[in-house]
Amino acid sequence: MWTYSFSIFVRGYIAFSGLCVFFVSASLFGATGRGVIGYGTSLFAALGIFLSFNLGRAFLQAQIEDSKNRDALLFQCLSLNVFASLLTMGAGILYWQFSPSAQKILSSSEILGFSMTSFFCVWSHNGHLFYSSYLKTKVQDFLIFLTRTVVILFLTGLILFHSKTNLTTFIWAYALLLLGGTLLEMAVIQWISKAPIRFTMDLKSYGRLIQKTLWPHLDYIFFHIFPLLLMVLSAGFLSVSTLGKINFATQMINFIFLFSTTAHMRVNAYVANGGIQDKFNKFWKLMSLTALASLLSAVLLYFAIHFLPNIPMLKSFSGSSRLYLISLAALPGYILFQFFNPLWIEKGKLKSTVLLQGMNLLICLALSPFLLKHFGEQGYLMGFSLFYFNNIPLHLWLYRSVFGRQRELLKTE
């Protein structure tokens, strides 16, 4: 119980440190600076999701099939994780090289700084499963807590000493802190496992394992990659300062999303311990509490966002409260996904959700240029909200098809 509580605390601490990074960078560099940071992080985060190759889940699958060779496989997986990070780094720099809109926003020094976040972006999708396979998630949570504390101390130093740090230096410093934390986590799990260092690997075996974990990986990609792609796509339609205002609004809604992602961990625990079917009362109660907490937070944050631009350092974010209101339409669909997705996995409906989410992603990506061109910053939030809002009919249809059929079978019996 203590381990689970500490894990939830660390997730909240990550969100808190993220808000600290946001407000300090916003006060130092304004909406334009936040636009640069939002664009750069979105570019490498999107590539990191796609190129992570689901190595953590593949390793977990390999352990299930052959637990005796777990230690021997770990170093190979960590090596592939480094390769995926370097591939993400190269892909991001290559995209910048051939994209006029990316070059308009990021300088060569800035793109190199953001490229350092590639290791963090890939590891954030794989690392937890490596630690889970050794039942050492508490150790990883402590390392994450340590890294985020260093980040907060860095930000505190900038404020206390009235640092005149420029944007490029800030990007490099923050990226190197994340890189250091990632390398520390990788080194510690290698030390815990005492895995032999071997540079030979059976790529065919890993290819088969990755194929087995393809559907969960696609499910994760299709739901999480859209807002990142939307930010990258918007560079061709919106100014950098406008991207900063949008980043302000979406950061606030992401803070509210934290309630759902935390509850998602609990729902996964239901699935792992007997299934949700026997815990429906707890399931609905948890969903109701999450929705209520999200609603109250949404109201409080609206008033905070409405008055924040009155602070001289945040004047460039005026009008963000209107964008935030549009983004709130995403909240119901996001909550439904976090609660129902584990249920569909339990019911063997993962492929159905992947196909539906894939269609949703393609439709919203196709609509995005039209929305951005004709509605500007509001069009961005309309596309953002539409993607998540579409999850309402998607999951309600699945719920009816699964449980409606069960009720019909019970009646016939």
> DSSP secondary structure string, 60-83?
HHHHHH-GGGHHHHHHHHHHHHHH
Give Cα separations from 271 to 106, 136, 222, 275, 276 (angstroms).
Answer: 44, 21, 22, 4, 5
Taking every pair of Cα atoms in the chain, the longest distance, rounded to a whole number of angstroms, is: 75
Q: What pLDDT shows up at residue 205?
A: 67
Cα 304-319-18 angle, rounded to 5 deg: 50
* Cα-based torsion angle of the residue sequence 360, 101, 253, 216 in order, rounded to the nearest 10 degrees: 40
What six digits make up the tokens of 183? Answer: 């390398």
From the CA atom positions of the chain, what is the Rg in Å?
22
Whole-angstrom distance, CA of residue 257 vs CA of residue 357: 19
Amino acid at 243: L
Residues 113/171, Cβ–Cβ less than 8 Å = yes
Whole-angstrom distance, CA of residue 159 vs CA of residue 153: 10
Report the chain's terminal Cα–Cα distance, integer Å.
42
Residues 58/210, Cβ–Cβ less than 8 Å = yes
pLDDT in tens, 156-209: 998 887 667 899 999 999 999 999 999 999 999 999 988 777 666 666 766 776
With bands split at pLDDT 50, 70 and 90, how would you rate the model's confidence at 410?
A: very low
Whole-angstrom distance, CA of residue 86 vs CA of residue 92: 10
Q: Which has the closest alpha carbon to 357: 337, 343, 342?
A: 337
pLDDT in tens, 382-403: 999 999 999 999 999 998 888 7
Whole-angstrom distance, CA of residue 155 vs CA of residue 21: 7
Q: What is the DSSP letter of 199?
A: -
Residue with tokens 């949703």: 360
Whole-angstrom distance, CA of residue 297 vs CA of residue 396: 25
Residues 53/210, Cβ–Cβ less than 8 Å = yes
Half-sphere exposure of 404 (CA within 13 A, CB side): 6
* Residue 373 pLDDT greater than 90, yes or no: yes
Q: What pLDDT shows up at residue 407?
A: 53
pLDDT in tens, 63-116: 766 667 777 788 888 988 999 999 999 999 999 999 999 999 999 999 999 999
Domains of the chain by residue range:
1-212, 214-413
pLDDT in tens, 199-242: 666 667 667 767 777 888 899 999 999 999 999 999 999 999 99
Q: What pLDDT shows up at residue 119?
A: 97
Whole-angstrom distance, CA of residue 10 vs CA of residue 237: 37
Query: Could you tell me what percent of the chain has a pLDDT over 90?
Result: 55
* Residue 329 pLDDT greater than 80, yes or no: yes
What six digits make up the tokens of 236? Answer: 């061709």
What six digits make up the tokens of 217? Answer: 């990986």
The neighbour count for residue 322, using CB atoms within 10 Å, is 15
Residue with tokens 């991207």: 243
Q: What is the mean pLDDT of the chain?
A: 88
pTM listed for this prediction: 0.90
> Average of pLDDT values for 302-318?
81
Whole-angstrom distance, CA of residue 197 vs CA of residue 293: 48
Q: What pLDDT shows up at residue 379?
A: 96
Q: What pLDDT shows up at residue 196?
A: 73
With bands split at pLDDT 50, 70 and 90, how would you rate the model's confidence at 409?
A: very low
Residues 130/57, Cβ–Cβ less than 8 Å = no
Angle between helices 55-65 and 70-98 (to 10 degrees): 160
191: CB partners within 8 A, 6+ apart:
none
